[in-house]
Amino acid sequence: FEIFLLILRWCFQAPAEEFVTLKLPLAEFRPYYRGQEISLDENPLDTSAITSIGLKVDMGPYLPENQAGVAALEIDWIKATK
């Protein structure tokens, strides 16, 4: 019995020192399995199967092209709509 966990990812860069409202359109999310992008045609998004949402902040201070020091991403609210 194999559990198939499909991850959908959409990347954006938050502007510095500014509050913004972002819309994350599900149609623009791309499917990944074990870190590799897979075909959206062969793995269409079934929105009725979505059970959770997670946020991940990449490009942290340990990479040479990023500034060192403290950073914050403040999220006031998250809303799902059709």
Place of tokens 């045609």: 41
Alpha-carbon gap, residue 58 to 22, rounded angstroms: 17
Mode of pairing for the β-strands spanning 36-37 and 7-9: unpaired
4-44 pLDDT, tens digit per residue, is: 567 777 777 777 778 888 888 877 778 888 778 888 788 78
- What is the torsion angle, in degrees rounded to the nearest 10, for the CA atoms of residue 2, residue 53, residue 42 and residue 59? -100
50-65 pLDDT, tens digit per residue, is: 788 887 776 666 666 6
Nearest to 48 by CA among 31, 33, 24, 26: 26
Contact 9, 36 (CB under 8 A): no
Q: Where are the domains of the chain?
A: 1-82
